[in-house]
């Protein structure tokens, strides 16, 4: 027997809302969320793995993230992801055999400088410091005389004030590599939410600030990165690493590492969403109109991975990304099933590009509608409801029209507000999603549809750094240390179904499910034959 819904199957992704029993610092349990609580209590629910090997990362000690999470949800299977691909390429040294690497080294050895730009941490979400250190070793071994590193400070995927840990590690490596014929130094830096790492065109001003810092060498000057970080911390109360201002390392009043004609530049971030805009700034011609670049050096530029396979951004890259085929979106398009994807700017690319296997274009222009609600350029802790109301307005309208058998929506609040480390704001973020559910679920009921309510990874359920005994850690001034990173916790997967179809299937309990099991489940609910390569469905048809 198959299911047959009068209304849509709606996949609701509560970004960054994980499950954790400990209530201390838990903005999910701390939120007033009667709708979500009712759904968890009265409807079938499974806990899904959303980190580590379940989403293609190297180990189960690796936190999930929105990119790999949406890849897994949309693909229906697990692919080796950025961090694992790069680690494997470095371990085998196959990266260094590529024509791209060889050309970067060759140009740097002609008298230019080899520049590395990227996020300096071991968060393994956008980058890993070990990848940078390995490439520095290889650069010296191959005779590159001058290297400059432009560091983006994390405090988001790692401890909020852990920057000096990574700076010290990098400086030790640079001291080891530098000698009379090798000059390896940090040249510039700044917090990842201040410069360079914007995404989805939400704030090109961040990229402009990064360009001025890394390329032009404009900005406040310091003798060392450590001096810059310590100075900013003393001047800005309670500032965390991701929000530290830009800085330039200088000697005798002159920047030590501007980017010039003939240089080689490597963006060593492997995750694509926050790498594309800087890449476009480097690779675009005179038609670039996002900001005044002042001067555009003629460089040999490469990314760690191909960040957009459809748009071919960047033109050169060091490691080939996974080729993700047979996605849910592709299957439904091939079957003639109309589908909708909607979110605000901050997560729009996740329900489109990442969900579709790193594909920018639609599978079928006539059957797919993508809606982006522009995000506000306001610190998320100051407006934690974000665009949840506007997303819901449009979604409810389209549910009532009932022309899309499959709809997917992402509410970014739990993740984007969770990253701020502000507990009270994260609570409001979660409550805002619950208010959205209060409006969406009756609209689904009214047209005879059902919803799968889930998340792509955890975040808001751990807003404090906790000691082993479960008590919050404190900084030197006695303040609770905020946790701004993702987590290793499972996420909910709720089957909200008030139709007669709920009696036509049963949810099969298992502790082995991950995000990749969602696709086959949706295919079963829609009555579509699924590819054999997919992970199993979570339901059994009666």
pLDDT of residue 485: 83
CB 189 within 8 A of CB 197: no
Whole-angstrom distance, CA of residue 325 vs CA of residue 328 = 9
CATH of residue 311's domain is 3.40.1450.10
DSSP code of residue 363? S
Q: Are residues 35 and 103 in the same domain?
A: no
177 vs 84: CA distance, rounded Å:
26
Is the domain of 221 the same as that of 331? no
- Placement of tokens 């790069």 in the chain: 86
Structure tokens given for 352: 């489109």
Whether residues 518 and 469 fall in one domain? yes
Q: What single DSSP character describes residue 203?
A: -
Instruction: Measure Cα distances from 164 to 96, 99, 113 in Å.
Output: 29, 35, 25
Residue 480 lies in a domain: no
Low-confidence ranges of the chain (pLDDT < 50): 1
Q: Are 152 and 189 in contact (CB under 8 A)?
A: yes
Q: Using the CB atoms, write b or e for 433-453: b if 16+ within 10 Å.
A: bbbbbebbbebbbeebbbbbb
Q: Are residues 439 and 469 in the same domain?
A: yes
Q: How many CB atoms lie within 10 A of CB 34?
A: 11
Is 2 domain-assigned? no
**Token reading at 496:** 């909200």
CA pair distance 502, 336, nearest whole angstrom: 24
DSSP-derived letter for residue 457 is S
Cβ atoms of 531 and 326 within 8 Å: the answer is: yes
Domain end among 290, 319, 348: 319
136 and 255 housed in the same domain: yes
Closest CA to 342 of 332, 330, 355, 333: 355
Residue 30 lies in a domain: yes
User: Phi-psi bin for 217: left (phi > 0), alpha (psi -120 to 50), beta?
Assistant: left
Q: Show the tokens assigned to 528.
A: 């579509």
Residue 309: its pLDDT value, please?
62
pLDDT for 62 equals 80
Task: Tell me the C-alpha distance between 355 and 343, whole Å.
Answer: 12
* Reported pTM: 0.73
Q: HEC profile for 107-145?
A: HHHCCCCEEEEEEECCCCCCCCHHHHHHHHHHHHHCCCC
**Could you tell me if 412 and 424 lie in one domain?**
yes
pLDDT, tens only, 348-378: 999 999 999 988 899 999 999 999 999 999 9
Length of the chain: 542
Helix ranges (H only) for 163-291 are 163-177, 204-214, 225-235, 276-283
My answer on whether 56 and 148 are in the same domain is no
Regarding whether 409 and 275 lie in a shared domain, the answer is no
Mark 259-289 as b/e (b = at least 16 C-beta within 10 Å). beeebbbbbbbbbbbbbbbbbbbbbeeeeee
**pLDDT tens for each residue of 91-103:** 999 999 999 999 9
Among 269, 301, 319, identify where a domain stops.
Answer: 319
458 within domain boundaries: yes
Task: Say if residues 434 and 27 touch (Cβ distance below 8 Å).
Answer: no
d(CA 56, CA 457): 13
Structure tokens, 303: 């990314």
* Residue 421 DSSP SS3: coil
Q: Is 183 exposed, middle or buried (0-12, 13-18, 19+ CB in 10 A)?
A: middle
Residues contacting 528, CB < 8 A, separation 6+: 331, 332, 335, 337
Same domain, yes or no: 43 and 158 = no
> In 362-517, where do the E strands start and end?
368-373, 406-411, 450-454, 491-496, 505-507
Do residue 331 and residue 315 come from a single domain?
Answer: no
Give dist(CA 345, CA 204) in Å, integer.
Answer: 13
For 325, the token pair is 């085929």
Residue 1 located in a structural domain: no
Instruction: Identify whether 92 is a catalytic site residue.
Output: no
**pLDDT in the model for residue 65:** 87
**26 within domain boundaries:** yes
What is each CA distance from 422 to 290, 317, 464, 473, in whole angstroms? Answer: 32, 37, 9, 15
Beta-sheet pairing, 114-120 with 264-267: parallel
At which of 287, 319, 351 does a domain end?
A: 319
Q: Which phi and psi (to 5°) does residue 189 adopt? A: 180, -175
The token pair that represents 535 in the structure block: 């992970």
| Contacts (Cβ under 8 Å, ≥6 apart) of 94 | none
CA 496, CA 190: separation in Å to the nearest integer? 44
H or E segment to which residue 9 belongs = strand 9-14
Q: State whether 425 and 526 are in the same domain.
A: yes
Pairing verdict, β 505-507 and 539-541:
antiparallel
How many alpha carbons lie under 13 Å from residue 371 in its C-beta half-sphere?
20
Q: Which residue out of 66, 162, 425, 537 is catalytically annotated?
A: 66
CATH number, domain containing residue 403 = 3.40.720.10
Is the domain of 131 the same as that of 274?
yes
Per-residue model confidence (pLDDT) at position 63: 83
250, containing H or E segment: strand 247-251
List the Cα angle 413/60/152 in 5-degree steps: 55
Domains contained in the chain, number: 2
**Residue closest to 397 by CA, chosen among 432, 373, 421, 424:** 373
Structure tokens at 289: 């109109």
CA nearest to 123, candidates 459, 464, 471: 459
pLDDT in the model for residue 253: 96
* Predicted local distance difference test score (pLDDT) of residue 86: 94
- How is residue 387 written in tokens? 């665009």
Give a yes or no: residue 4 inside a domain: no
**Boundaries of domain holding 128:** 83-319
């Amino acid at each position: 027997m198959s299911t047959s819904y009068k209304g849509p199957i709606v996949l609701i992704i509560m970004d960054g809302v994980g499950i954790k029993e400990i209530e201390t610092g838990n903005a999910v349990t701390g939120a007033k969320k009667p709708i979500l609580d009712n759904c968890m209590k009265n409807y079938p629910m499974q806990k899904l793995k959303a980190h580590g090997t379940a989403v293609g990362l190297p180990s189960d000690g690796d936190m999930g993230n929105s990119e790999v999470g949406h890849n897994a949800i949309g693909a229906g299977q697990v692919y080796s992801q950025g961090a694992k691909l790069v680690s494997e390429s470095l371990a085998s040294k196959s990266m260094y055999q590529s024509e791209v690497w060889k050309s970067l080294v060759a140009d740097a050895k002609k008298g230019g400088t080899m520049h590395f730009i990227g996020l300096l941490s071991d968060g393994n979400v956008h980058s890993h410091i070990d990848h940078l250190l390995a490439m520095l070793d290889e650069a010296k071994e191959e005779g590159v005389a001058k290297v400059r590193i432009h560091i983006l400070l994390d405090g988001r995927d790692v401890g909020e004030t852990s920057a000096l840990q990574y700076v010290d590690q990098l400086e030790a490596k640079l001291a080891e590599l530098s000698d009379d014929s090798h000059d390896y130094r940090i040249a510039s830096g700044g917090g990842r939410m201040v410069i360079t790492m914007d995404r989805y065109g939400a704030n090109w001003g961040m990229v402009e600030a990064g360009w001025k810092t890394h390329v032009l060498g404009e900005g406040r000057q310091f003798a060392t990165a450590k001096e810059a970080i310590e100075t900013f911390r003393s001047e800005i109360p309670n500032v965390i690493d991701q929000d530290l201002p830009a800085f330039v390392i200088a000697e005798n009043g002159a920047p030590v590492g501007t980017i010039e004609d003939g240089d080689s530049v490597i963006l060593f971030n492997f995750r694509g969403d926050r790498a594309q805009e800087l890449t476009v700034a480097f690779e675009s011609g005179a038609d670039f109109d996002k900001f005044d670049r002042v001067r555009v050096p003629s460089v040999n530029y490469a990314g760690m991975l191909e960040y957009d396979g459809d748009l071919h951004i960047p033109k050169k890259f060091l490691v080939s990304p996974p080729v993700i085929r047979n996605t849910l979106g592709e299957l439904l398009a091939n079957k003639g099933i109309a589908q909708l994807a909607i979110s605000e700017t901050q997560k729009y690319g996740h329900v489109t590009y990442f969900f579709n296997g790193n594909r920018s274009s639609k599978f079928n222009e006539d059957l797919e509608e993508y809606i982006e609600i522009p995000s506000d350029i306001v610190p998320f802790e100051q407006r934690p409801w974000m665009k949840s109301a506007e997303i819901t307005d449009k979604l409810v309208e389209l549910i009532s029209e009932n022309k899309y058998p499959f709809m997917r929506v992402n509410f970014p609040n739990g993740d984007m507000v969770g990253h701020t480390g502000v507990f009270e704001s994260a609570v409001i973020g979660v409550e805002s999603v619950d208010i959205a559910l209060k409006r969406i679920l009756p609209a689904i009921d009214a047209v005879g549809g059902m919803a799968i309510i889930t998340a792509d990874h955890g975040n808001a359920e751990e807003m404090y750094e906790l000691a082993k005994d479960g008590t919050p850690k404190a900084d030197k001034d006695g303040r609770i240390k905020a946790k701004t990173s993702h987590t290793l916790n499972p996420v909910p997967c709720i089957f909200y179904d008030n139709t007669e179809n709920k009696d036509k299937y049963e949810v099969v309990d298992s502790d082995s499910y991950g995000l990749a099991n969602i696709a086959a489940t949706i295919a079963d609910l829609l009555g579509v034959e699924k590819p054999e390569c997919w992970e199993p469905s979570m339901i059994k048809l009666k």
